[in-house]
Amino acid sequence: MWKSIASNALTFFIVLLIAAAALVAWGRNVYVRPGPLTEAVCVQVERGASLASVSRNLEARGAVADARIFRIGAEYSGRSKDLKFGSYLIPPGATMEDVLGALTLGGASTCGQEIQLVIGVASSNVVLRELDPATNRFVEVAKFAPDAVEKPAEYTEAEAQADMRFTVTVVEGVTSWAVADALKKVDFMAGEIAAVPPEGSLAPQSYDVIKGGDRAALIAQMTANQERIIADLWMGRDPDLPYDTPEQAMIMASIIEKETGVPDERGLVASVFVNRLRQGMRLQTDPTVIYGITKGEGVLGRGLRQSELRRATPYNTYVIGGLPPTPIANPGRASIEAALHPQESDYVFFVADGTGGHAFAVTLAEHNENVARWREIEAQRGEAGQGGVQSAD
């Protein structure tokens, strides 16, 4: 009798094992086979969303065939807690494995709308934009100033959505006053900014924020990022630079940032200023003079006057020797790298060349020829201004 019971139990156990193995095999097949989608869908993952809620949404949208199998697959792969906030395009026929990968790898969202505060050098704007999956580029839906009284209807509707993404983008070369001013005016953030952060202390980049996020906390994040960047780069700096502290390097980086918008020129611009410092020459750069006039609060909007170029101020590098007392903007990582790793050259002059870049020179005679060509271009355009390092010593 006991042998019969044991035999039956063993048989039942074997049947259960076979059934479990078949169930696992079936589940695995469902997990890796093409999914039910016939058209691409945009799936949004909210901040702090649970795997259960996301899987149910995926099943409801037709992105996965079975929410339970999707959850089991996520748990088995060890990625159940790796969901990344954002909006992700799920293509037709995507497997559950593909869907999980899209929702856990992170990176930029691949679909949907976002509201972005762009803090620029000349102006700041709130932009509602939508990512076009076909081109993988954002399409602008609406744009307006942060302190606009009347806002586009498209923005009002989007801003009310619970899962809307918000970002703040700080452009390289923007001043700390401009950052604080734009953040104070934008309506999707809250809290006070006690004072304008020190110039150069904020890292230009894009920051994900939440609606109602604290302005001071965002400033603290920007500051921490910039401190980390300069600390990392300072350790690997070139030897024998004509500045001794990270703070001085940031001043130089801010000047480089304001002098050229051409990435390939940063190293050469840095070399000009480094060569001048080593030779005891004045920097003679317009952006520092302009900063001394505006204090970073907006743009000058006109050319410099000769009286301003002659006036002694802490930022007038036509008059003072060495570096100005503080940075004149918030430099990006590339300009900081250029300040710490200037290109080798004998150049001590440069001036705008009319293409967006600059003409560099070793001698004053060469520089004067470059300046003459630039003046001709200015005359043809009806423009006025200096641009670059001037010849007057």
Write out the DSSP string of 296-338: TSS---SPPPHHHHHS--TT-TTTS-S--SS-SS---HHHHHH
74-88, 158-172, 175-189: range with lowest mean pLDDT? 74-88
pLDDT of res. 38: 86
Strands 213-214 and 189-190: parallel
User: What SS3 class is residue 43?
Assistant: strand
- Percent of the chain at pLDDT exceeding 70: 88
- State the average pLDDT over residues 2-6: 57
Q: Interior CA angle at 351 toward 178 and 179, to 5°?
A: 5
Q: Residues near 46 by Cβ (< 8 Å), separated by ≥ 6?
A: 85, 162, 163
295 pLDDT higher than 50:
yes
DSSP codes joined into one string, 341-370: SPPP----EEEE-SSSSEEEESSHHHHHHH
Q: How confident is the model at residue 70 (pLDDT cuts 50, 70, 90)?
A: confident
Sign of CA dihedral 328, 334, 340, 341: negative
Domains of the chain: 32-111 (3.30.1490.480), 113-230 (no CATH), 237-389 (no CATH)
Tokens, residue 105: 């790898």
Which of these, 104, 220, 99, 108, lies nearest to 165 by C-alpha position?
108
265 vs 385: which has the higher pLDDT: 265
pLDDT in tens, 92-118: 888 988 888 888 886 667 778 889 999
DSSP letter, residue 265: G
Indicate the average pLDDT of the chain.
86
Residue 235, pLDDT above cutoff 80: yes
Amino acid at 368: N
The per-residue pLDDT for 393 is: 35
CA dihedral 150, 155, 157, 159 (to 10 degrees): -110
Q: DSSP character for 32?
A: H
In which band, very low, low, confident or very high, does the pLDDT at 289 lie, cut at 50, 70 and 90?
Answer: very high
pTM across the whole model: 0.78
Positive or negative CA dihedral for 200, 201, 206, 212? negative
Measure CA 239 to chain center.
30
pLDDT at residue 180, as a whole number: 97
Task: List the one residue out of 277, 256, 252 whose CA is nearest residue 266.
Answer: 256
What string of H, E and C letters represents the secondary structure of 79-94? Answer: CCCCCCCEEEEECCCC
Predicted local confidence at residue 89, as pLDDT:
82
Q: For residue 26, is pLDDT > 70?
A: no
Q: Which residues contact 40 (CB under 8 A, 6 or more apart)?
A: 89, 90, 91, 92, 133
Identify which has the larger pLDDT, 98 or 18.
98
Is the CB of residue 292 less than 8 Å from the CB of residue 307?
no
Is the pLDDT score of 221 beyond 60?
Answer: yes
Position 220 pLDDT exceeds 90: yes
Type and span of the H or E element at 175? none
The structure tokens listed for 331 are 């430099």
pLDDT tens track for 126-166: 999 988 776 778 889 999 999 999 999 999 988 888 778 89
Q: Is 146 in contact with 115 (CB distance < 8 Å)?
A: no
Q: Is residue 88 predicted with pLDDT exceeding 70?
A: yes
* Burial environment of residue 65 by CB neighbours within 10 A (0 to 12, 13 to 18, 19 or more): middle
Look at strands 86-90 and 124-132 and give their pairing: unpaired
Which pLDDT does position 62 carry in this prediction?
85
**pLDDT over 70 (residue 76):** yes
Q: How confident is the model at residue 386 (pLDDT cuts 50, 70, 90)?
A: very low
CB atoms within 10 A of CB 57: 17
The region that residue 107 occupies, defined by phi over 0 for left and psi between -120 and 50 for alpha, beta otherwise, is left
Lowest mean pLDDT segment, chosen from 24-38, 127-141, 247-261, 284-298: 24-38
Q: In the predicted model, is pLDDT for residue 257 greater than 70?
A: yes
Q: What is the pLDDT of residue 285?
A: 94
Q: Using DSSP, state whether 166 is helix, strand or coil.
A: strand
Q: Decide if 145 contacts 126 (C-beta within 8 A).
A: yes
pLDDT at 15 over 70: no
Helical H runs in the chain? 2-32, 51-60, 67-77, 96-104, 153-159, 176-185, 215-234, 246-259, 266-278, 286-294, 306-310, 333-340, 364-381
Select the more confidently predicted residue: 64 or 13.
Answer: 64
